[in-house]
Chains A and B, each alone.
Chain A
Amino acid sequence: AQSVSQHNHHVILSEAASLELGCNYSYGGTVNLFWYVQYPGQHLQLLLKYFSGDPLVKGIKGFEAEFIKSKFSFNLRKPSVQWSDTAEYFCAVNAGQAGTALIFGKGTTLSVSS
């Protein structure tokens, strides 16, 4: 069965610090990879996605993620965080076939102090 691991449960940063959130998945076949964000009081929103091609993908709000197939990883990065990035971040994966469920990691809470 597929699984997703997010190594950091809670990350605390100051504004302008760089961010990297780890995500590893277990699945041997073709996968689709996603990062979602949940701001306080809001619904889950898509940050970025990877299906194929360039392993470095760019999303909204200056976020990017790199797919490293050999490491089964899809880490999220941002060069300089802002207070408004305070949120919970979820990595998710599904097998590259129709009808397969999107499996989420348990999330990482990011707190950014101004």
Chain B
Amino acid sequence: KAGVTQTPRYLIKTRGQQVTLSCSPISGHRSVSWYQQTPGQGLQFLFEYFSETQRNKGNFPGRFSGRQFSNSRSEMNVSTLELGDSALYLCASKEPGVHSPLHFGNGTRLTVT
């Protein structure tokens, strides 16, 4: 099976702009989670989607939003970008079941200037 695919791999944006990141989960996986990874804070949970519904949300401002489509693909949007939003954004998918592990993509490296 193909792994989790994230596009684009790299993005450079300026403050105040908005950005949309895309994630295609492993075939058959209906749960998609998003994480922000920075050197100082490590991996921080943004949100999880399951069957097109947001099932859980981390402690991030409302500028961070997401959605999931009927084919389980997910997008994440960040509006009014700030310098502190520069990070590696990781998407992960999993099979149904509380014991299923997350499978991560390679991430999108966002740089805000």
Contacts and interface: CB of A to CB of B under 8 A. Distances in A.
Please determine whether chains A and B interact with each other in the same assembly. yes
Interface residues on B, range: 20 to 34
Contact of B101 (A34, A42, A43, A104): A34
Nearest to B104: A44
Contacts, number: 55
B81 interface: no
Contacts of A105: 42
A99 B90 contact: no
A29 B83 CA distance: 38
A104 B104 contact: no
A90 interface: yes
Interface residues of A, number: 24
A51 B102 contact: no
B98 A96 contact: yes
Contact of A104 (B43, B55, B103, B106): B43
A51 B56 contact: no
Taking each of A94, A101, A103, which has the highest tally of chain B beta carbons within 10 Å of its own beta carbon?
Answer: A101
18 contacts: A32-B98, A43-B3, A43-B105, A46-B101, A49-B99, A49-B101, A51-B99, A96-B98, A99-B48, A99-B55, A100-B56, A101-B33, A101-B45, A101-B56, A102-B33, A102-B45, A104-B35, A107-B43
